[in-house]
Structure 1
Amino acid sequence: MTRPILSTRGLCKDYGNGQGCFDIDFELYPGEVLGIVGESGSGKSTLLATLAGKLAADRGQVRFLDRDGMAHELTCLPEAERRRLARSEWGYVTQHARDGLRMNVSAGANISERLMALGERHYGRLRERAGDWLDKVEIGADRLDDKPSAFSGGMQQRLQIARNLVTQPRLVFMDEPTGGLDVSVQARFLDLTRRLVHDTGIAVIMVTHDLGVARLLAQRTLVMQRGRVVETGLTDQILDDPQHPYSQLLVSSILQA
Structure 2
Amino acid sequence: MSGEPILCVRALEKRYGARVGCTDVSFDVWSGEVMAIVGESGSGKTTLLNCISGRLPPSSGGVSYRMRDGTLRDLAELGEAERRFLMRTDWGFVHQNPIDGLRMRVSAGANVGERLMAVGERHYGRIRGAATDWLGRVEIDAGRIDDQPVSFSGGMRQRLQIARNLVTHPRLVFMDEPTGGLDVSVQARVLDLLRGLVADLGLAVIIVTHDLAVARLLSQRMMVMKSGRVIEAGLTDRVLDDPRHAYTQLLVASIPES
Please, what TM-score do these two structures have when normalized by structure 2? Answer: 0.97
Determine the structure 2 residue equivalent to 1:85: 86
Secondary structure class of the residue paired with 2:254: helix
Matched, 1:227 2:246: no
Matches within 5 A, 1:177-256: 177-255=178-256
Please, what TM-score do these two structures have when normalized by structure 1? Answer: 0.97
**Inter-partner Cα distance in structure 1 for 2:223 and 2:18:** 22
Determine the structure 2 residue equivalent to 1:134: 135
Determine the structure 1 residue equivalent to 2:48: 47
Identity of aligned residues (%): 64
Matches within 5 A, 1:50-61: 50-61=51-62
Q: How many angstroms does 1:131 deviate by?
A: 0.4
**Inter-partner Cα distance in structure 2 for 1:114 and 1:22:** 34
Determine the structure 2 residue equivalent to 1:6: 7
Secondary structure class of the residue paired with 1:102: coil
Matches within 5 A, 1:105-116: 105-116=106-117
**Inter-partner Cα distance in structure 2 for 1:62 and 1:79:** 16
**Inter-partner Cα distance in structure 1 for 2:191 and 2:257:** 24
Q: How many angstroms does 1:79 deviate by?
A: 1.5
**Inter-partner Cα distance in structure 1 for 2:100 and 2:196:** 24
**Inter-partner Cα distance in structure 2 for 1:164 and 1:158:** 10
Determine the structure 1 residue equivalent to 2:39: 38
**Inter-partner Cα distance in structure 1 for 2:248 and 2:19:** 19
Once the two structures are superposed, residues 12-45 of structure 1 have per-residue CA deviations (whole angstroms, 9 ceiling, x without a partner) of 1112463511011001000000000000000000
**Inter-partner Cα distance in structure 2 for 1:214 and 1:114:** 28
**Inter-partner Cα distance in structure 1 for 2:31 and 2:94:** 18
**Inter-partner Cα distance in structure 1 for 2:35 and 2:117:** 30
Alignment: residue pair count: 257
**Inter-partner Cα distance in structure 2 for 1:254 and 1:16:** 35
**Inter-partner Cα distance in structure 2 for 1:51 and 1:99:** 19
Determine the structure 1 residue equivalent to 2:100: 99
Determine the structure 2 residue equivalent to 1:153: 154
Secondary structure class of the residue paired with 2:205: strand
When structure 1 is superposed on structure 2, of 10-19 and 156-165 the one drifting more is 10-19
Secondary structure class of the residue paired with 2:132: helix
Q: How many angstroms does 1:255 deviate by?
A: 4.2
**Inter-partner Cα distance in structure 2 for 1:234 and 1:176:** 20
When structure 1 is superposed on structure 2, of 13-22 and 231-240 the one drifting more is 13-22
**1:18, 1:226 within 8 Å by CA — same for their partners in 2?**
no
**Inter-partner Cα distance in structure 1 for 2:152 and 2:91:** 25
Once the two structures are superposed, residues 146-194 of structure 1 have per-residue CA deviations (whole angstroms, 9 ceiling, x without a partner) of 1001111000000000000000000000000000001000000000000
**Inter-partner Cα distance in structure 2 for 1:68 and 1:143:** 38
Secondary structure class of the residue paired with 1:254: coil
Q: How many angstroms does 1:80 deviate by?
A: 1.2
Determine the structure 2 residue equivalent to 1:125: 126
Structure 1's consecutive aligned runs of 4 or more residues displaced over 6 angstroms after TM superposition are none
**Inter-partner Cα distance in structure 1 for 2:164 and 2:52:** 20
Determine the structure 2 residue equivalent to 1:175: 176
**Inter-partner Cα distance in structure 2 for 1:68 and 1:167:** 17
Once the two structures are superposed, residues 205-241 of structure 1 have per-residue CA deviations (whole angstroms, 9 ceiling, x without a partner) of 0000000000000100000000010000011111111
Secondary structure class of the residue paired with 2:206: strand
**1:92, 1:172 within 8 Å by CA — same for their partners in 2?**
yes
